[in-house]
Structure 1
Amino acid sequence: MSRGREEVGSLEEVPKDRYYTKTHEWLLVISGNKVRIGITSYAAKQLGDLTSVEVKPIGTDIKKDEPFGIIESAKTSEYLYSPVSGRITAVNKEAGVLEEKEEVFAVGELERITEDPYGEGWLIELEANNLEVEIKELWSHEEYEKYISSLS
């Protein structure tokens, strides 16, 4: 078990340094109002092998709880919801994440998202607009662990 993470049954590791949503996104404060967003390992396991991840372009303003993209697997496709409001400042192309309407194939490795969802598999970075207020509405790692335990 990695330092700073807790095991939930045999399903899930939940890092303590981030915030979580009911729709299985995580948020990590990088510095100031700059945040990184990804999906949890629980979501990654449910999705299975990914076929594509497409997000709104860099520079797009998004609101809390609004979709910022779509993640597709052999099993299903799901919207990705923003945990906070802000402007997209980075897209993780190394993990195969594409901006909407990009006419290129993913050059990165989608496996990064499923194999390392809390590290190299992050999806986007935002400059948050109202972080101090909106972060209070997100779940701690304990609250998220309790939630995913109730799903099994």
Structure 2
Amino acid sequence: MSEVKDQLLYSKEHEWAEVIGDRTIRIGISDFAQHQLGDIVFLELPEVGAQVNAADSLGSIESVKTVSDLYSPVKGTVTKVNSALIDQPELVNEDPYEGGWMVEIEIEQSAEEALENLLSAEQYKEFTEDQE
């Protein structure tokens, strides 16, 4: 069974979101998603300063099996990109919640408002059980 971290929120597209500052959200893909994708070989991530809307594509993730879009669970401005993933995309497989995070986004509204449509860890566990 995939690891689901209780302190994170999750999208139905398998991104996780973590509040790391008053208006900063860190985003990556879930352990479930990286297992489904297989060995990740390339990531295309947005530029710092890019404006994103919730449910918009942030970039793509290429694995030996497929290419998938990475979606933003929130609206805001990309303030940081995990540049380590450019040379080491396998970090997403090895550690999707720490070393494999992808971007940080500064949001305009409160974190509670920005994240209200995401799933709790328990809801995400139930959601993914149907897909395994």
Shorter chain as denominator, the TM-score bin is: over 0.9
Aligned partner of 2:39 in structure 1 is 49
Query: What residue identity is the alignment partner of 1:121?
Result: G
1:1-150 aligned within 5 A: 11-96=1-86, 108-130=87-109, 131-150=111-130
Query: Deviation digits for residues 70-114 of structure 1, max 9, x if unmatched?
Result: 101111001111010010011101122xxxxxxxxxxx3111111
Where in structure 1 do 4 or more consecutive aligned residues deviate above 3 Å? none
TM-score normalized by structure 2?
0.95
Provide the alpha-carbon RMSD of the alignment.
Answer: 1.0
1:40 alignment partner AA:
S
Aligned equivalents of 2:10, 2:100: Cα separation in 1: 16
C-alpha contact (below 8 Å) 2:107/2:114 kept by paired residues: no
TM-score (norm 1): 0.83
Segments of 5+ residues of structure 1 without an aligned counterpart are 1-10, 97-107
The share of aligned pairs that are identical, in percent, is: 37
5+ residue gaps, structure 2, are: none
Higher relative contact order, structure no. (Cα contacts within 8 Å, ≥ 6 residues apart): 2
Q: Which has the larger radius of gyration?
A: 1
Aligned length: 131
